[in-house]
A and B are shown apart, each in its own frame.
Chain A
Amino acid sequence: MKFRLFLTAFFLMPVAVFAQAEENFEKGAVPQISPDKAYFLIRTREPEDLPAGPLLVRALSPDELIGAMERHKKDPRYKEPPNTVLMDGSIPFAKTGDEKTLLVAAKPGIYILAAEAHVGSNFKDRGIMAVCLCLGTVRFEAKPGVITDMGTLLVARDDKPSPIPELASAVRGKFVDISAVTVVVALKPETDSMPVPESLANLPRVTADYRAQRAFPNYFGVPINRLIAIPGVLDYDDDGHVVDLKTTK
C-alpha cells in the first residue's frame, strides 16, 4: 500500500521539463564565442547573504506572443520555449573583493532588466523571485557573437541600511510589514574604469545601449519596485511614470 501511495505522489509531482534558457559561465570558464548566441557580462555588488540574480526577459515578436497566448488559452500549463535569462550570482565567472563578474550566454534579442531573484544554495531550483522592476527599468539589445557589457548592478536588502552609497538613501532600512525580504536595485552603465577579467579582454565586447523601459505588469506576482534613475537614460516624473531621457533631450 505504501508503494501505491509513493507512486501516486510520484506522478503528482510537477515535472520540470524545461529547456534551459541561459548558460552561466562559472569560475573563469572562457566561452567559445558562438555567432548565434548573445553574451551578457555584468558586475555585481550585493549583500553577502543574498547573491544577486538579475532576471532578463527577452521581448517577444508579435508572432511569438500571439502563439504563446493561444497555446496558454488552450492549456495553461503549456511550457513555452524560454525567453528569460537568469544571471546567477551564486556561480560567478570571477570575483574580486566584494565585486563579482557574471557571464551568461543566451538567445540574442531585445532584453529588459525585469527583476531580481534570490539565488544560491539556500534556495531550491533557480532561486526565489525577490522583486519585479515593474515600475520602471531599462531595455537593451543583445547582439549575436559579442559580449554585451551591462556595467555594474548594485543590490541592497530593503530591510537593512546599505553600505553602498548609491543605495543608502533608497532602502527603507527596516523591516516593513511581513512580506518577503525585497531588494533595491541600481545599475551603472559600463565605463572605462570598470574592470574586465583579463581572459575576456580580447573577446568582442560592446557597451549595452540602455533605453528607458516604461512600467509593465507584475508577471511574477511578487513585491514591486523600480530601477533607480540613471543619469542620461532613465528618470521618473511626479506621477511615478518613466521618463526616457534619451528621447526627451
Chain B
Amino acid sequence: MIKCRLLLVVAFACAPQISAGQTQETQTAAAVPPDPTTVTIPDLSFKPSKRDAGRYDEYFYFHKSGVSYEKAFTDLQECAAYSQVFQFMLSPPHFVPLGSEPYKADQSQHYDNAFLQFGLIGVGILGFAMDILASYDERVNTRRCMGYKHYQRYGTSRAIWRQIDKGNVASQKIARLALIASGPVPAGEPVEP
C-alpha cells in the first residue's frame, strides 16, 4: 500500500514537469478575425431576474459605439492575452524574461503539496479551484482592460452567455463578442466597467 502511494507521489510530482517541458510558451499569435458573416450571435434580449442581476460580474459582454468588428476583435484579443497565464499565490519572481513571451505557469509545487497532504482528492479539489480562480482572474482582467478602452459593459443571463461562450475555439468566442461589441447599442443600462 505504501509502495503504491509512493509511486503515485512520484508520478504526480513528475507530471507537471513533463508537461512544462512540452509546452514552454503560452502566448499565441494574434488570430485573424473570422468573416463576420459566418459568425452567429444569440438574441441578447432577456427579462432580468433578481438572480441575473446578481451575476453580472460573471456574465457580461461589451459594447462601444462606432467601433468596427475588426477593431473590437483586436481589442478583445489583446485583453484576453493578459490572462493566458494564471499563477496561484505567486511569490515575486527573481527572474522575468522581459522582452520574451511569458513562460508557462508552473503550478507543480501546489499540486505536490496538495497530494502530499490530501492525496488524490486534494489534487482534484485543487484543480477544480484553480480553474475557478483562473476564470475569475480572466474576467477581472478583461473588465479592467476593456474599461480602459472605453467599452461599456452589459450584464446578461447565464443562458445567453453560454451561447456566446459555446465551443472550444477561442477565436470564435471572441468573434461573437466582437460582433456584439460593434453591433447595435444593447437594450438596458450598462453596468460598472
Cβ < 8 Å to A, chain B residues 74-105: 75, 81-87, 89-105
Interface locus among A28-36, A81-89, A148-156, A203-211:
A81-89
Of A83, A115, A219, A223, the residue contacting B141 (CB under 8 A) is A223
Number of A-B contacts (CB under 8 A): 167
Of B2, B83, B143, B148, the residue contacting A1 (CB under 8 A) is B2
Contact B92 A60 (CB under 8 A): no
Majority SS at the chain A contact face? loop
Contact A68 B94 (CB under 8 A): no
Contact B141 A221 (CB under 8 A): no
Indicate if B109 sits at the interface (CB-CB under 8 A): yes
Closest approach, in angstroms, between the C-beta of B78 and any C-beta of chain A?
Answer: 8
Cβ < 8 Å to A, chain B residues 1-24: 2, 6, 9-10, 13, 17, 20-21, 24
Q: How far is the CA of A13 from the CA of B113 in the complex (A)?
A: 8
Q: Which residue of A lies closest to B104 (CB)?
A: A76
Contact A129 B92 (CB under 8 A): yes
Of A82, A135, A182, A221, the residue contacting B105 (CB under 8 A) is A221
B28-54 to A contact mask, C-beta < 8 Å, 1/0: 000000000000000000000000000
Decide: A218 near B83, CB < 8 A? Known: A1-B2, A76-B24, A77-B17.
Answer: yes
Residues of B within 8 A of A1 (CB): 2
Q: How far is the CA of A1 from the CA of B1 in the complex (A)?
A: 11
Q: How far is the CA of A79 from the CA of B82 in the complex (A)?
A: 24
